[in-house]
Amino acid sequence: MQFPITMEFKLLALTPQVSVTDANGQLVCFVKQKMFKLKEKIDIFQDVEKQTALFSISADKVLDYSARYRFTDPLGQEIGSTKRHGRKSIWKARYDIYQGEQVEATIKEDNAWVKVGDGLFSEIPFVGMLSGYVFNPTYTVADPNGTVLAKIKKRPGFTSRTFEIDKISEMSEASETRIVLAILMMTLRERRRG
């Protein structure tokens, strides 16, 4: 993948739609999440027309308080997973990324007050429209040894929510894929929380 990777969420859509592009502006994948699913499942496609499936992300529980989200390829083979740290993530988001049953990396929110400010500010009539431009959370992806692998930052914007992923350290293509899928799942979950 050519970093930085950009994830752009459409704001004026009934269901979450995300376009993921690389540093050259080429579409990496497209996500259109389905509504009203008891057990969350997200299909990721190579194109906006949803002709070619790349991956699926599915929850292992109906209630997603601390669900584990498994990543599978089009043949149904598991390539990794991510899990939110239930109660610990209420204040500051934290997700583990797994290769098999082993933690490969962790995504941590850098400053929880940004999320609190965004949540409060966005509830003020008319003024709340500016929250997407004022409050921009950042996240860090690090391996179990503490080596920073990637940084995620929400870019200021009025008409869409855009997150940018910068690669900090070298990693395998399989690790890059798992990390991008975990960040995609994390941003889908966290953007609902403010």
Q: What is the pLDDT of residue 194?
A: 44
**Cα dihedral sign for 151, 102, 98, 64?**
negative
**Cα dihedral sign for 166, 94, 8, 98?**
positive
Q: What CATH architecture does domain 5-193 belong to? A: Beta Barrel (2.40)
Tens-of-pLDDT digits for all 194 residues of the chain? 899 999 998 766 667 789 999 999 999 999 987 765 556 788 999 999 989 999 999 988 776 667 899 999 999 999 999 998 766 656 688 899 999 999 999 999 998 777 667 667 666 676 666 666 667 889 999 999 999 999 999 887 766 688 999 999 999 999 999 999 999 998 888 765 54
Q: What is the pLDDT of residue 23?
A: 94
How far apart, in whole angstroms, are the C-alpha atoms of residue 39 and residue 72? Answer: 16
Q: What is the pLDDT of residue 90?
A: 63
Extract the tokens encoding 121: 């500010």
